[in-house]
A and B are shown apart, each in its own frame.
Chain A
Amino acid sequence: MEPIVKTEDLWKIYRSGKVDVAALRGVQCEVLPGEFIAVMGPSGCGKSTLLHVIGGLAQATRGRVLLDGNDLTRMSDAARTMLRRHKVGFVFQRFNLLPALDARGNIAIAQHIHGDGFDPHRFDTVTRLLGISDRLHHRPAELSGGEQQRVAIARAIINEPKILLADEPTGNLDTKSSESVLRMLRKLNQDLGQTVILITHNPEAASYAHRVLHMRDGQIVDGIPVD
């Protein structure tokens, strides 16, 4: 099976002033379609950076990233934008819903940007699956953290992305909401075959995944036990 994501000797170096910070130092990994992967590692080890580069939000400094067969490192900014639009869904720790729009608007705008117009069937399926059908006319400020995160997940998967990238999606949630969000992610993976990469600090959360990738100092270090 062809991997959905494949990185080869991936480097990301941030240049802040005169100091170079190597956030990724030769990351080597593969994610197969339908996999649910957790990424763990200490703060500052480069987890978010890896997710941004894989999702085409940031440009790699060296190496290759293949996303569904497309080499992101050779793409222009506009091409990466297009790729995000069609193949990637992001979920963030801070939910990041647009405050001016209600839940429905937040999900619909992703469909609009995607360009295929509003698909009521897909919309119903997704909102029902995430249990937010009766919250659609509330604005983010009127929703609980757990509800906001479920709306954000709905927005991320409404266009059937090849991969869902979630950066500590339960980091701002209480235990109960965390569990519900994680169950949702597992359900999406099991029922819809959604490929998921989940960054987390929480071993409990990681236990929902098929496979855990451990990162340290900008590299993936497998075989080292969870700390």
Chain B
Amino acid sequence: MIGHLVWKNALHRPLRTALGVLAVGVEVSLVLLIVGLTHGMLHDVAKRIEGVGADIMVQPPSASVFLAFSGAPMPEALGSRLAELAHVKAVAPVLLQLSSSGGLDIVYGIDPASFRAVSDGFFFLQGHGLEKPDDVLVDDWYARAKHLKAGDTLHLLGHNFHVAGVVGHGKGARVFVELHTLQQITGSPGKASLFFVKCDQRSSTNDVIGEIATLLPRYQIRPLQNYLSLMTQTTVPGLNTFVYSMIALAGAIGFLVIFLSMYTTIVERTRDIGVLKSLGASKGYIVKALLGETTLVCLGGIVVGIGMSYGGQFLLRDLFPTLTILITPGWILRAAALAIGAGLCGTSYPAWVASRKDPVEALAYS
């Protein structure tokens, strides 16, 4: 019966209920899309780094796992000292640069020979490797997204590049240029953001890591075999702050909208509350009815929000084919819990006020 009352009350003001549902939907989809985007990007980057085929990645102490945010503080010459270590077969310096032309993409500045040595080489779908300073390689996804083919011109980082070839995806980045070219463009001659290291055999990876750690204490040295599983959110402090701020913002939206909507509701229903009290309804009964209504709105909002998230995923995929958005059941549950938690918090004060109304005054309200 209280469910019936809750249901009928929600239907009695369809516009307000719909707005509440929509706001909770925005809250839920904001969480799912932000988390999905960051997870998707991390996942993507990690998978591609794993796909390079190197055994170890060496980064300076302050570097973020989320490579795009790293600067280029290491001297390129450090590479030759790494190459001298036992069991090291090849070392490739890479300079990273973020390009924001039409989506965010990481550009790798590579030395073609050493990069080929640490990886198993590119798989060319079209064209050939980097030969001239203004050559650029793009992967097939990027080529499809930007409608590029070998021989085209690509405007990147303020320069016109010549698309020398299109390669299979999964080799660290989607866009590759000559190391020296990128060093020039970014004004960091002789610098590298990271080194990929190839060992003479997989089994010596741990030994080599130990050697590098002695040589370069405090540097971040990671085996790449399980890189994907290593790249969880917890390893990205700055990103965590961002994601949690957005989640807090989403929760605040839900809280405020529900708070305002429930507050107007109880003012509007002052006389109804008086009536319920005259019938002998306890404070708990009134609180329960209001919390029930919020729960209903939140459940509706969660469904709408999940729908909006998948819709957003579909749209974004259409607009930016290189973006990956990961919507996971775990985060759907967390977003739902956030929505309901924020909603119940937002209702608690109005419900408390309603339950304490004086019945005679409430009945006299017009």
Contact = CB atoms under 8 A, between A and B. Distances in A.
Interface of A: 52, 55, 57-58, 78, 81-86, 88, 90, 92, 96-101, 105, 108-110, 112-114, 118, 155
B277 interface: yes
A108 B3 CA distance: 13
Nearest to A58: B360
A105 B8 contact: yes
A155 B279 CA distance: 9
A99 B12 contact: yes
Nearest to B361: A58
A96 B12 contact: no
B277 A81 contact: yes
A78 B12 CA distance: 30
A58 to B, nearest CB: 5
Interface of B: 1-2, 4-5, 8-9, 11-12, 271-272, 274-283, 285, 359-360, 363
A101 B12 CA distance: 9
Nearest to B8: A100
A118 B281 CA distance: 16
Contact of B275 (A55, A83, A98, A114): A98
B278 A90 contact: yes
Nearest to B280: A85
B360 A57 contact: yes
B278 A113 contact: no
A122 B12 CA distance: 28
Contacts of B5: 98, 100-101, 105, 109
Given A57-B359, A96-B271, A109-B1, A81 B9 contact: no
20 contacts: A57-B277, A57-B363, A58-B359, A58-B360, A81-B280, A84-B280, A85-B281, A90-B279, A96-B275, A99-B272, A100-B5, A100-B12, A101-B4, A101-B5, A101-B8, A105-B4, A109-B279, A113-B279, A113-B281, A114-B279
Secondary structure type dominating chain A contacts? helix
A58 B277 CA distance: 11
A113 B280 contact: yes
Given A84-B279, A85-B280, A113-B281, 12 more contacts: A55-B278, A57-B277, A58-B359, A81-B281, A83-B280, A84-B280, A96-B278, A98-B275, A101-B4, A105-B4, A112-B2, A113-B279
Most buried by A among B5, B272, B278: B278
Contacts of B274: 96
A109 B9 CA distance: 13
Interface centre among B1, B9, B279 (most CB of A within 10 A): B279
Nearest to B11: A100
A78 B280 CA distance: 9
Contacts of A105: 4-5, 8
Contacts of B11: 100
A82 B280 contact: yes
Contacts of B363: 57, 92, 96
B282 A81 contact: yes
A108 B1 contact: yes
Nearest to B5: A109
B251 to A, nearest CB: 29
Contact of B285 (A58, A99, A113): A113
Contacts of B2: 112
A86 B279 CA distance: 9
Listed residue (A57, A82, A155) with the most chain B CB atoms within 10 angstroms of its CB: A57
Residue with the greatest number of chain B CB neighbours at <10 A, chosen from A58, A82, A100: A100
Nearest to B285: A113
Nearest to B9: A100
A205 to B, nearest CB: 21
A90 B11 CA distance: 27
Contacts of B285: 113
Report which residue of A78, A81, A83, A105 has the largest number of chain B beta carbons within 10 angstroms of its beta carbon.
A81
Given A58-B360, A92-B363, A99-B12, A112 B280 contact: no
A57 B318 CA distance: 63
A55 B280 CA distance: 10
A113 B283 CA distance: 12
Contacts of B271: 96
A118 B4 CA distance: 13
A197 B5 CA distance: 30
Contacts of A97: 275
